[in-house]
Structure 1
Amino acid sequence: MESQNVVYRKLQEHMDHMPVGFPVSRSGLDIEILRELFTEKEAEIAIELSMLPESLDRIYPRLKKLGYTKDEAGSILDTMSGKGLIAAGRLLSSNTNNKLYSSAPFAVGIFELQQSILKQNVSKKILDYSLETFKDEFFKKDTPVQMRTIPIGKSVKRENYTATYEDMRQIISNTKGPIVLLNCVCREAHDLTGQPCRTSELRETCIALKNIALSCIDMGKGRIVSKDEVMELLDKFDDAGFVLQPENNENPHFICSCCGDCCGVLTMAKKFPVPAEYYSSNYYAVVDKDLCTGCSTCAGRCRMDAITIEDNIAVVDTGRCIGCGLCTSKCPSEAVTLYNKEKIKIPAKSHGELYKNILRNKIGTFGFIKVAAKYMLGMKV
């Protein structure tokens, strides 16, 4: 048992060095989660993987020390990929002639890869760990967050030019390759723990694009949908009261449609007294007092508890508002409008640039250069 504890602790420390880490939990939930997901053998192998993609040829010298043949190592890595424990294949590269493998972060990563295979025991532990510990790793001031909010587009005051990356429909129109619609893993976790979503019975609410869509197809997850169907779903999600949260770059690989009951990102954010300080959003809601009737439709749709009704007028707490636009799209008197923030946050150009920025903020420029040099020399990073 002691040797197992050592292996899982080493894996936790290894995962914690990634751009978005996996910090120690005071309650021990970090190790309990790893035990639920990884066998001891899989944990030993995962420790030998890098945060950056590598071929089996490059990885194998490290795995050979564990006593595996090259064929055995490749087979185990493929099995671990199928279990959502590591990143591999078209998740990392569309080049199928040179399969790559890497460590996967806890989230966005391993947790999301448990979609459709998540177990009840680990679900409760993951939900508890997220609110107890992981929220402070996911949300850090002055560090890019992995996801952002984009309003549907209704009732947005176009004070400035609205860039393509702020237009969800334009993002869908411009995306190349298949689009895959998946069940939400957060709602799956809540269903498994007897806490079903109170917002909606919809479960197919996560949209995979680009390499993530290709990987989902390879793994037999979700279903391929057309752009026209996605456009219709955006309206359906707005009707249901879902916050749209794409990956935080100009060309996102995924779009989550989130409720305030189940979404890990929203429930973690709500734990902070001023969530707007941590969130990546370029909008805030403003209520026209002359038009507001105090009907409380906006307050009921707000997923951040940012709106209250005072003297029959809706009042927005801008410290809690994340600019999602749910309050504006169904206001019967059109009293709520989204305005651009004074300081606009421009997302990273790509998936790779986003995580480079997160890592650079975490370990500094010198540490970032050191990681890049080790990787170029073929070393584990």
Structure 2
Amino acid sequence: MEDVYKKLAVHLDNTPSGFPETETGVELRILKQLFTKQEATLALSLVLMPESVETIAQRAQKDPEKIEPLLIEMGKKGLIIHINRNGINTFMLLHFVVGIWEYQVNRLTKELIKDFNEYVPYLIKDQYKNKTQQLRVVPVAKAINTELNIMDYEQVGNIIKSQSKILVAPCICRKEHDIMGKGCGKLSETCLVFGGGAYIYESRGIGRTISQEEALDIAKEAVKQGLVPQPSNAKKPLNICFCCDCCCQILKNIKNFEAPAKIVSSNFQAHVDPDECTGCFACQEICPMNAIDTNEDISLVNLNRCIGCGLCVTVCEFDAISLKDKKQMERIEPPANLVETYMNIAKEKGLF
């Protein structure tokens, strides 16, 4: 049985988002809680493209009629992707993060949460070796000014308004912390999922479909509560998460890096006008990356730590702080879509 889970761990590690090995074997404990032995064995025959049950059965050397119900059940559990188009079932492998883990929002247990929290630092360290990241940070609407060289795909409102299908799901990070008695009390329904991803969530009974207006209201409330907008790293994102630095596994862990600005995909950073700053330090309190330093009762932005979310701008009553464009050589253009994102990561990891 151990060999099956070790093989699955390697199989998942060969996806762009990775699934690194640890000294403690916590990754294997996680897989054993999510997959039965039979499911783990079958997952080894799946790839990152939708395939018919006949193709998968041939690779697995199994009877298609016998494995199809199991594949459908694995899809319901969020272990793989199941798509039914015109009555034809197709199945594909999922990344662990973002992917399998996020679909477990309704299957969380304290043991699973404990193991995942132990594993996250390994995942983060592994993922941030890549130039291309899975997520990026875009500024909150209140921080956007006319001087910014900002594109439509960098504006939360424009991203939402371009969607025809929107679903909101519970934030798995805040739900984890609530279950463990460590919740922050901030808005829980904040994960916006778009297009095909929304249909998949809906088919699994996760979240609820909402209108553009409802999504925009959620985005406004999220900013009021100091949450950071993180869409998937593509010009046509599949989702936007609104994250807090106390629960979000990504923000919480990159906060421990010496220079978060160098690893987060963002095109903006905050700057303080010393002549206007009154030293109230409201910006310091809301900053999710501890990027605001002080000098003689005036705020200073540590550019090695600032990820350009713009939350500091929303609380400055004296217009002393604003977002500026990064230097041209530091600006990052997101991939066109999610497929290109993962192709770029795969190339950077030398997977092909």
Q: Is the 8 A contact 1:139 1:269 kept in 2?
A: no
Aligned to 2:151: 163
Aligned to 1:354: 341
In structure 2, the CA distance between the partners of 1:256 and 1:249, relative to structure 1 (3 Å rule), is: same
Q: In structure 1, how many angstroms separate the alpha carbons of the residues matched to 2:239 and 2:266?
A: 17
| Aligned amino acid, residue 164 of structure 1 | D
Are 2:79 and 1:85 aligned? Answer: yes
Q: Is the 8 A contact 2:149 2:325 kept in 1?
A: no
Q: Which structure 2 residues correspond to residues 142-291 of structure 1 after superposition, within 5 A?
A: 143-159=131-147, 161-176=149-164, 178-197=165-184, 200-291=185-276
Q: For residue 216 of structure 1, report the CA deviation from its aligned partner.
A: 1.4
Q: In structure 2, how many angstroms separate the alpha carbons of the residues matched to 1:295 and 1:159?
A: 25
Q: Share of identical aligned residues, percent?
A: 35
| Aligned amino acid, residue 101 of structure 1 | F
Q: Which structure 2 residues correspond to residues 9-24 of structure 1 after superposition, within 5 A?
A: 9-24=6-21
| Aligned amino acid, residue 140 of structure 2 | I
CA-to-partner distance for each residue in 1:291-321, whole Å, 9 max, x for gaps? Answer: 1111121111111111133321112111111
Match of 2:117 among 120, 127, 130: 127
Q: Is the 8 A contact 2:163 2:212 kept in 1?
A: no
- Which secondary structure state, in structure 2, belongs to the residue aligned with residue 102 of structure 1? strand
Query: Structure 1, unaligned stretches of length 5 or more?
Result: 369-381
| Aligned amino acid, residue 217 of structure 1 | E
Are 2:51 and 1:51 aligned? Answer: no
Q: In structure 1, how many angstroms separate the alpha carbons of the residues matched to 2:12 and 2:250?
A: 19
Aligned to 1:376: none
Which deviates more from structure 2 when the two are superposed, residues 49-58 or residues 279-288? 49-58
Q: In structure 2, how many angstroms separate the alpha carbons of the residues matched to 1:102 and 1:146?
A: 19
TM-score scaled by length of structure 2: 0.96
| Aligned amino acid, residue 336 of structure 2 | K
Q: For residue 351 of structure 1, report the CA deviation from its aligned partner.
A: 1.2
Aligned to 1:136: 125
- Which secondary structure state, in structure 2, belongs to the residue aligned with residue 136 of structure 1? helix
- Which secondary structure state, in structure 2, belongs to the residue aligned with residue 284 of structure 1? strand
Q: Is the 8 A contact 2:4 2:41 kept in 1?
A: yes
Are 2:300 and 1:310 aligned? Answer: no
CA-to-partner distance for each residue in 1:90-120, whole Å, 9 max, x for gaps? Answer: 6xxxx44433211111100111010122222
Q: Is the 8 A contact 1:157 1:340 kept in 2?
A: no
Match of 2:96 among 103, 106, 114: 106
Q: Is the 8 A contact 2:148 2:323 kept in 1?
A: no
Q: For residue 230 of structure 1, report the CA deviation from its aligned partner.
A: 1.4
Q: In structure 2, how many angstroms separate the alpha carbons of the residues matched to 1:191 and 1:27?
A: 26
Q: For residue 62 of structure 1, report the CA deviation from its aligned partner.
A: 2.3
Q: Is the 8 A contact 1:251 1:349 kept in 2?
A: yes
Count, aligned residues: 350
Query: Structure 2, unaligned stretches of length 5 or more?
Result: none
Q: Pairwise CA RMSD of aligned residues?
A: 1.5
Q: In structure 1, how many angstroms separate the alpha carbons of the residues matched to 2:169 and 2:42?
A: 29
In structure 2, the CA distance between the partners of 1:351 and 1:152, relative to structure 1 (3 Å rule), is: same
Q: For residue 325 of structure 1, report the CA deviation from its aligned partner.
A: 0.6
TM-score scaled by length of structure 1: 0.88
- Which secondary structure state, in structure 1, belongs to the residue aligned with residue 46 of structure 2? coil
Q: In structure 2, how many angstroms separate the alpha carbons of the residues matched to 1:20 and 1:324?
A: 24
Q: Is the 8 A contact 1:156 1:339 kept in 2?
A: no
- Which secondary structure state, in structure 1, belongs to the residue aligned with residue 253 of structure 2? helix
Q: For residue 157 of structure 1, report the CA deviation from its aligned partner.
A: 4.3
Q: Is the 8 A contact 2:138 2:155 kept in 1?
A: yes
| Aligned amino acid, residue 103 of structure 2 | L
Q: For residue 69 of structure 1, report the CA deviation from its aligned partner.
A: 2.9
| Aligned amino acid, residue 36 of structure 1 | Q
Aligned to 1:371: none
Q: For residue 122 of structure 1, report the CA deviation from its aligned partner.
A: 0.5
Aligned to 2:35: 38
Which deviates more from structure 2 when the two are superposed, residues 249-258 or residues 214-223? 214-223
